[in-house]
Amino acid sequence: MKTCIITLSIFVLTLSKTDAFMKHGIQRAAAPVVLTSSTDTFADANTNNVASLSCASRLNMVADSEQQQGTTIIDKDFRLAGIFLVIGLLLDTIPYLQLTVGPLITVLGVLFLVQTFRLNFVCDSDSFSLQDSSQESGENIVVGGENKWMYDSFVNYDFFPKGWVDQPQGPILVYFKETQTPKDKWSEGPGKSANSEEAVAKGAVQGQVHFFPALCNVKQLRAEWQKQNCSKL
């Protein structure tokens, strides 16, 4: 029981620190323009004003650049990690289950929590990417290559369990299939059954299958994919 309380305390403290970090902002005061009869005083005031305008211009240029690029970082969602942690900690108090299912669910909850902090789901003007928060898109551990896919390569996407995307608890998995990955890789992993003759006969479109935990705001992600006209069966 003490272990459960300690773990929950760490979880709450972690989230509280994150909220505090996100609330920090940048405040900027405009430098006043001072006009006097003294040439030197006017020059100093004008120089300070130009420097202030230059700083503001640079900030505006950065903002305009990001807006033009149309890059959206999907909001993080800690619900999945929280649900798994709570269920796991409860199972850890039940005899027999505390030695089998309980630890497994708890470990998954911790993993989801770490990955939620670490990963960014990014939608730009022409592609979707999965990025480490400390670096650019990493390499896909299943089929290799960059974790970045063009929208026009999508042949399907969905959220599982189906219908949960609009429910309070949210879905567990996000799924999409694309044709950007070389065709000889499509049958690796879960793609073997998803691209089988039986699946195609039922209406499936062949491509590389991707699943990942719902660690982001899935409604926002769905809206971005819909806005980009990603194909969906």
Position 1 in a domain:
no
Position 63 in a domain:
no
Domain span holding position 101: 72-227
- Report residue 104 CA to chain centroid gap: 24
pLDDT at 51 (0 to 100): 40
Residues of the chain with pLDDT > 90, as a percent, come to 60
pLDDT at 117 (0 to 100): 96
Position 120 in a domain:
yes
Position 48 in a domain:
no
Question: Which range in 6-10, 46-50, 52-56, 134-138 is most confidently predicted, on average pLDDT?
Answer: 134-138
pTM value surpassing 0.75: no
Position 101 in a domain:
yes
Give the pLDDT mean for 81-109. Answer: 94
Average pLDDT over the chain, rounded to whole? 77
pLDDT at 135 (0 to 100): 60
What total number of domains does the chain contain? 1
- The single-letter code of the amino acid at 80 is L
Kindly state the DSSP code that residue 33 receives in the 8-state scheme.
Answer: P
Place of tokens 């609330």: 23
Buried b (16+ CB within 10 A) or exposed e, 147-160: bbbebebbbbbebe
Give one DSSP letter per residue of 80-140, joined into a string: HHHHHHHHHHHHTTSTTGGGTHHHHHHHHHHHHHHHHHHEEEEE-SSEEEEEETTSSB-B-
3-state secondary structure 212-223: EECCECHHHHHH
Position 19 in a domain:
no
* Band (85; pLDDT cuts 50, 70, 90): very high
The pLDDT tens digits of the residues spanning 169-211 come to 999 999 999 999 999 999 988 899 999 999 999 999 999 999 9
Q: What is the C-alpha to C-alpha distance for residues 158 and 210, in angstroms, rounded to an integer?
A: 11
Position 112 in a domain:
yes
Q: In a 10 Å sphere around its CB, with 0-12 CB exposed, 13-18 middle and 19+ buried, how is residue 188 labelled?
A: middle
Position 44 in a domain:
no
The pLDDT tens digits of the residues spanning 120-140 come to 999 999 999 999 986 655 555
Q: Higher-confidence residue: 85 or 28? A: 85
